Amino acid sequence: MTSVVHAIVGCGRIAPNHADGFGVLPDVELRWACDRDEMVAKAFAAKYDIPRFSADLDEVLADPELTSVTVSVDHAQHAAVAERALRAGKHVLVEKPFTTEVSDARAVVAQAKESGLVLSVISQHRYDAVVTAVRSWIDEGLLGTLTQASVVQESYRDRAYYDDYWHGTRNGEGGSALINQGYHSFDVLRLLCGDLTVTSAASGALALGDVMENEDTLAALLRGPNGLIATYAITVTGTVEWRTRIGLTGTEGSVVIDIDQPGLLHFCSGSVELLARAETLRGELTVEPPPGTSYYGIGHRKQIAEFCAAIREGRPPSPSVEESTRALRVISAFYQSMRSGRPETIS
């Protein structure tokens, strides 16, 4: 019996992950592909065996059997499309970032609560095997008290990537390297370390300033729980399509991982128990072909399954929309600190 009838709204580069994630679930019907360009929606529907397509969101939302929608349009439209879907009585799964403005995120959350509907924001790398393993080691005290963390991410983007109506624009993307590509590693950093406060940040359009209004490179210093000091750096100006390194140092152990695909454990030091767990993890990490862009991985499958389970069971999904809103608040603090040159607290 079908318990979820789903539509994908926005058929761009991340949409194949949603077609895959909903398509592999036995109790889900993927019925609609919707895009502002009807020919894009038609082609996407044909490729993924989706029976209906449209460029008219109202037509899609008017389907009385439709249960839920993916919102994978440009960043600036996330809030408006999500609110329209919620008002139409549909559960909503939003691609990251939640919205471009914290106030918009809060309004969408309020609408979902008022409507009693499930609202979730994609954080697929939280479901990566290496990330969940390290999170469990931290929770069990195998790393002791975290004192230091670092993230370095390189994600090459050529000029053609910004040759559309929204990438690289302040109003359309809400930022650039950080809020788009860097969101993934920053989200994992927050998951592993806890909430973070921006102490200082610097950025610039060092190589792509002719095609973007925002940052192509950023570095920041942050503080976390118990005084933890973290550094974060992202650029889209190099030659490597996608490379991350996330390092954690604690009083009882340290690790270095990535969220490239597949995510890997590069280094581990600590107790006999920690080293044994690390060796087990290395043996369990396997390569599974992703459905779309390689570095997006396969984490969408697990989060989409969680989203559908939350719909069936009438409960909040994981991660919570409050957590996703908090992430947006920290990213907003990044941008405020870059503009002002001063530390920014999160309100």
Burial (Cβ within 10 Å: 0-12, 13-18, ≥19) of residue 147: middle
Nearest to 320 by CA among 223, 191, 213: 191
User: Which of 102, 104, 121, 35 lies closest to 73 in space, CA to CA?
Assistant: 35
Dihedral over Cα of 316, 317, 318, 322: its sign: negative
- Cα–Cα dist 238/33, whole Å: 34
HEC profile of 302-326:
HHHHHHHHHHHHCCCCCCCHHHHHH
24 near 301, Cβ under 8 Å?
Answer: yes
| Spatial CA neighbour of 307 closest among 324, 285, 294 | 324
Cβ atoms of residues 88 and 111 within 8 Å: no
Going through 79-206 in order, the beta strands assigned E by DSSP cover 91-94, 119-121, 146-154, 197-204
What pLDDT was estimated at residue 264?
Answer: 95
The pLDDT score that the predictor gives to residue 163 is 94
Q: Which amino acid is at 301?
A: R
What parts of the chain have a pLDDT lower than 70? 1-2, 343-347
Q: So what's the pLDDT on residue 344?
A: 65
Global pTM value: 0.95
Q: Which of 263, 268, 293 is nearest to 278 (CA)?
A: 268
Q: What residue type is assigned to position 223 of the chain? A: R
What gap in Å lies between CA 145 and CA 199, rounded to an integer?
Answer: 21
- What is the model's pLDDT at position 347? 47
